[in-house]
Structure formats: C-alpha cells, structure tokens
C-alpha cells in the first residue's frame, strides 16, 4: 500500500487550514503528497508558502495557453524547488504540451508534467453542450495520445477511463481525481470512484480531497487506510 501515490487536495486559501491538512495527513502508512490548486496559489500567502515548502508537492495549475505564454508560466515557477508535479491542459494542443515538457527539463529536472484530460465534473452531456462530437471515453483516449506523443510524464483522467488508458499506454503515469470514500457524497464531481476500485483499475495515484479534509482528518485517514486494507 505504501507504493500507492495519494495526493491530498489542499483546496482552501486559508493558510492555517493548509498547515492543518498537511500535518494531520502525515502518516508512515501511506505515501501522501499535498496538491495545491489555483485557489491557494493565487492567494495572498500561498505563493510565499510554497517558495519555502520543504517537501515534494503537486502544483495543479492546469496551464492552457499559447505556447510562449505557457512557457513563461513555467519559467516563473523556477524558484519552487520542491514542486514535483505540474499540470497542463491537453486542450492546449501538442505544440504547447511538447514545449512545456522541454522547458521543464531546464527549469527543474525533477518536475513531472501531467496532462489534464476531461474534468471529472463533466459528462457526455456536458461535452455535447460544448460542441464536442466525441464522448468522454473517446476524447480522453485521443487526449492521452497527444499527451504521450508530447513526451509528458503522465495523464490526469477519471478512474473510469484509467483502465482503458492503461491498456494502451503501459508505462504512462495515470493520476485520477474524483475519488471518494464509500458512502461519501460526490458533491460537484460526476465521474467518481472509491480509492480501492481506482487502484484496481491500474492507476498510479489518486487525488482525494473532501473525503479526507472535511471533518476529522485523522479519523478520515484511518478510514482510508482501513478501506485500502480490506
């Protein structure tokens, strides 16, 4: 179980809450890495906190812009020495993904680039409303092809598509958000799965937020450990 990557979503701009999440999710029974999104990164104290952070973390910015602007964004992160993972959106296209991967080698040789596919808050109806003619699975597989071709290190997709992606790309890092403990509410997520089922689908790691950070964090960690050990 220690080999399973588990990312805890630190989705708040409150620095004290961030510190509490980090401290109370610390356990030697699981490999837990904090994931910071735009809410914290854009906050007054967020950027400063990450400059001095001493452990590996994931910066979930979902960069999506023209290649040159995207490269400038990557260069602006060179002082974040412990940033181990960065997300870019597959919608930015092959050239942007390829350029970012090439640039990260200069900025931080340990930084892994993860290509984000269809957000777990979307479904087939959502895609149709946006003008897509492919369904979720078809589009995720197409985006996975672009992400792999670009040289990026991994893909972010829901656990429902992970098995399909793994069959085609044996060595790709696959990280899945939309993870909930059994009986927990799905909230604004649509394509969700439990941690144990996600790992059965051959994912490399999972992102889990409210199931850990809402309520008693230490009790939630125990629930997660028990769930994975069943």
CA-closest candidate to residue 67, choices 108, 106, 100, 112: 100
Element (H, E) at 103: helix 94-107
Q: Which of 62, 101, 112, 148 is catalytic?
A: 62
Query: Taking the alpha carbons of 151, 156, 161, 163 in that order, is the dihedral positive or negative?
Result: positive
| Residues 96, 89: Cα–Cα separation, whole Å | 9
Residue pair 65/73 in contact by the 8 Å Cβ criterion? yes
Secondary structure of residue 40 in the 3-state scheme: helix
Closest CA to 192 of 213, 175, 174, 176: 176
> Pairing state of beta strands 31-37 and 83-89?
unpaired
Contacts with 94 (C-beta within 8 Å, 6 or more apart), sequence order = 146, 149, 150
195, 169 contact by CB (below 8 A): no
Measured on CA atoms in the order 14, 53, 205, 156, is the torsion positive or negative? positive
Is 48 in the active site?
no
Q: Point out the residues that are catalytic.
A: 62
């Amino acid at each position: 179980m220690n080999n399973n990557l588990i990312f805890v979503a630190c989705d708040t701009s409150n620095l004290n809450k961030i510190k509490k999440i980090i401290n109370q999710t610390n356990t030697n029974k699981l490999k837990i890495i904090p994931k910071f999104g735009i809410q914290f990164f854009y906050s007054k104290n967020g950027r400063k906190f990450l400059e001095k952070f001493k452990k590996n973390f994931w910066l979930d910015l979902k960069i999506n812009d023209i290649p040159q602007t995207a490269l400038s964004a990557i260069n602006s992160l060179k002082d974040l020495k412990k940033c181990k993972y960065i997300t870019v959106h597959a919608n930015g296209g092959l050239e942007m993904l390829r350029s970012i991967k090439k640039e990260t080698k200069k900025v931080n040789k340990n930084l892994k680039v993860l290509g984000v596919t269809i957000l777990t808050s979307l479904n087939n109806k959502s895609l149709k409303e946006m003008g897509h003619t492919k369904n979720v699975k078809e589009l995720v597989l197409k985006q996975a092809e672009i992400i792999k071709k670009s040289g990026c290190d991994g893909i972010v997709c829901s656990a429902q598509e992970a098995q399909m992606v793994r069959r085609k790309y044996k060595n790709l890092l696959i990280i899945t958000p939309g993870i909930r403990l059994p009986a927990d509410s799905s909230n604004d997520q649509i394509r969700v799965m439990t941690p144990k089922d996600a790992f059965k689908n051959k994912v490399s790691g999972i992102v889990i937020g409210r199931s850990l950070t809402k309520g008693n964090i230490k009790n939630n960690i125990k629930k997660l450990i028990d769930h994975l050990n069943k």
